[in-house]
Amino acid sequence: MKDGVNGVALGVFIFFFLAVTVMGFLAARWRKAENDASLDEWGLGGRSFGTWVTWFLLGGDLYTAYTFVAVPAAIYAAGAAGFFAVPYTILVYPLIFTFLPRLWSVSHKHGYVTTSDFVRGRFGSKGLSLAVAVTGILATMPYIALQLVGIQAVLDVMGVGGGENTHWFIKDLPLLIAFAVLAAYTYSSGLRAPALIAFVKDGLIYLVIAVAIIYIPIKLGGFDDIFAKAGEAFSQTNPATGKPRGALAPGEAGQWGYATLALGSALALFMYPHSITATLSSRSRNVIRRNTTILPLYSLMLGLLALLGFMAIAAGIKVDNGQLAIPQLFENMFPDWFAGVAFAAIGIGALVPAAIMSIAAANLFTRNIYKDFLKPDATPEQETKVSKLVSLLVKVGALAFVLTMDKTVAINFQLLGGIWILQTMPALVGGLFTRWFHRWALLAGWAVGMAYGTVAAYGVASPTQAHFGGSSKEIPGIGEIGYIGLTAFVLNVVVTVVLTFVLNAVKAPVGIDETSPADYTADAGDPGVRAELPPATAGAPGGGH
């Protein structure tokens, strides 16, 4: 990255980038329905995707720059602690298996497009629905920011990111261009663009991973050598903290943190608006369950990619910004042209989820803030227009995170989002199984969880940052270091349960539940279940007027 532009790699990268961009614009014609002005059409791709497309889509947003840049970077920096991402993704599938089919059924029965739609319908509470919507949009921004950081890391290593002393505008120009391309094709093609590009992306990624995990270890003398060198590097004392840099297996002190990060991240993942979008766009509830049996393929990839962090150490990569470790490893190890392919895989692997995430956040805004509060009589055309605009705004918000926050520990972006999104879980998952929780108690629990989580995260300092420097802190009452998101979530549940007892005892109005128990198990083909929503229903099919 210091020795100028890598021309060949850059050329290959640009070639793939252009190819994907063209695909993105053409995607609008793929499996097109009659009415593309409806929000369902733009935002859910018409809800007609089968197992394999859904698999690509879910994989597209579950495995992102987080997987390719942030996790290996965490391993590079601290060793074992960064590997929590593997148990995290293992735990995700049983959760999806249990919860999401019920959400699919009730959503297709009542025409819900977002989690907020469901919460409003279930609890008859616009306030709670608003809380869920705002949280979803807020939590998505740092997650998108993480994707942009991934793209930036690749650009830096190729030598087009500019050095430390270049003007900030020149430095960020390539990133801004990549960002503009992403925004433009998402705007014009909606969910179809990322779904189609996901095929290219996954093909590239599998190729790069296969080559990386076979070729690099052989070049470095096998895993024995790699881990011996890494172990040696981790036992060196870090001058900043006075402790060893990391370890090959977590010590006693790190185990609570490891487990709570894994569990908290797993619970958070499928609460994100974009995971829900991908789920709802599948053809039947069975597709979702079948998917949980093939999605773990991605987890294996994640584990193998994480090991690249060790390989970077063994290869003697020294970077100040840990996010650059893997791209730099690729550049050192691969011939230039294949480094270009690898960079394209990482770059596109960040663009696809960024597009899906911004669409999901935009759907949330349009359905649950714009229509519920600002303009109840909006036409489907107006809804789609607002969604498209908001998908741009969300990306600008993410860009603000990238340009202002410390990027050396990118995994923190995602963990910060997780702290927030976890607080919507009692309302959503609780609501999927029971109507016992009181809507006001859920709202109070959410507020407490959000407040605690934000304040606690704000108070964590790191060597490079005074606030939001990390996502783990001592758990009150237990005394071990754990993920703030999970602590806040437990607090949230406690408040919700206690207040529900109180509110039910004083007979506070519980609100109208427009769903019935049978709605949660309905499948495609059952009476009243919409396989594909008719165009006009983009205007509130199930909600009140």
Partner 1 sequence: MPADPEGKPPTVTPVRVVIALCLIAPFVAMLWVSSYAKVDPTFIGIPFFYWYQMLWVLISTALTVIAYKLWQRDQRARKGGASA
Residues that bind partner 1 (CB under 8 A): 80, 83, 86-87, 89-91, 93-94, 97-98, 222-227, 248-252, 255, 258-259, 262-263, 289-290, 292-293, 296, 299-300, 303-304, 307
Q: How far is the CB of 269 from partner 1 (least distance, A)?
A: 15
Query: In a 3-state reduction of DSSP, which class is residue 8?
Result: helix
Query: Positive or negative CA dihedral for 364, 195, 345, 166?
Result: negative
Tell me the two tokens of residue 446: 């959410």
Nearer to partner 1, 301 or 350 (CB): 301
Nearer to partner 1, 94 or 163 (CB): 94
Query: What string of H, E and C letters represents the secondary structure of 140-187?
Result: HHHHHHHHHHHHHHHHHHHCCCCCCCCCHHHHHHHHHHHHHHHHHHHH
Long-range contacts of residues 240-249, Cβ cutoff 8 Å, at least 24 apart: 240/463, 241/463, 245/77, 245/78, 245/79, 246/77, 246/78, 246/79, 246/80, 246/81, 247/79, 247/80, 247/81, 248/79, 248/80, 249/80
Pairwise CA distance, residues 234 & 245, whole Å: 5
DSSP bridge pairs for 474: 481
Nearer to partner 1, 259 or 403 (CB): 259
Q: How far is the CB of 428 from partner 1 (least distance, A)?
A: 19
Q: Using only the alpha carbons of the chain, give its radius of gyration.
A: 23
Nearer to partner 1, 132 or 315 (CB): 315
Of the candidates 309, 274, 42, the one whose C-alpha atom is nearest the C-alpha of residue 144 is 274
Nearer to partner 1, 341 or 411 (CB): 411
Nearer to partner 1, 3 or 252 (CB): 252
Of the candidates 386, 466, 457, 463, the one whose C-alpha atom is nearest the C-alpha of residue 417 is 457
Cβ atoms < 10 Å from Cβ of 540: 17
Nearer to partner 1, 88 or 338 (CB): 88
Q: How far is the CB of 267 from partner 1 (least distance, A)?
A: 11
Query: In a 3-state reduction of DSSP, which class is residue 245?
Result: coil
Quick check: 427 and 123 in contact, CB under 8 A?
Answer: yes
Nearer to partner 1, 164 or 252 (CB): 252
DSSP bridge pairs for 364: none
Q: How far is the CB of 306 from partner 1 (least distance, A)?
A: 8
**In b/e form, how buried is each residue of 234-245, taking b as 16+ CB within 10 angstroms?**
beeeeeeeeeeb
Q: How far is the CB of 523 from partner 1 (least distance, A)?
A: 9
Nearer to partner 1, 224 or 377 (CB): 224
Query: Rounded to an integer, what is the distance from CA 293 to the centroid of its chain?
Result: 20
Question: One-letter amino acid identity for 333?
Answer: M
Q: How far is the CB of 296 from partner 1 (least distance, A)?
A: 4
Q: How far is the CB of 74 from partner 1 (least distance, A)?
A: 14
Q: How far is the CB of 82 from partner 1 (least distance, A)?
A: 11
Tell me the two tokens of residue 414: 């995602």
Pairwise CA distance, residues 58 & 276, whole Å: 9
Nearer to partner 1, 19 or 247 (CB): 247
Nearer to partner 1, 296 or 541 (CB): 296
Q: How far is the CB of 34 from partner 1 (least distance, A)?
A: 34
Q: How far is the CB of 419 from partner 1 (least distance, A)?
A: 19
Query: In a 3-state reduction of DSSP, which class is residue 512?
Result: coil
Quick check: 271 and 119 in contact, CB under 8 A?
Answer: no
Q: How far is the CB of 305 from partner 1 (least distance, A)?
A: 11
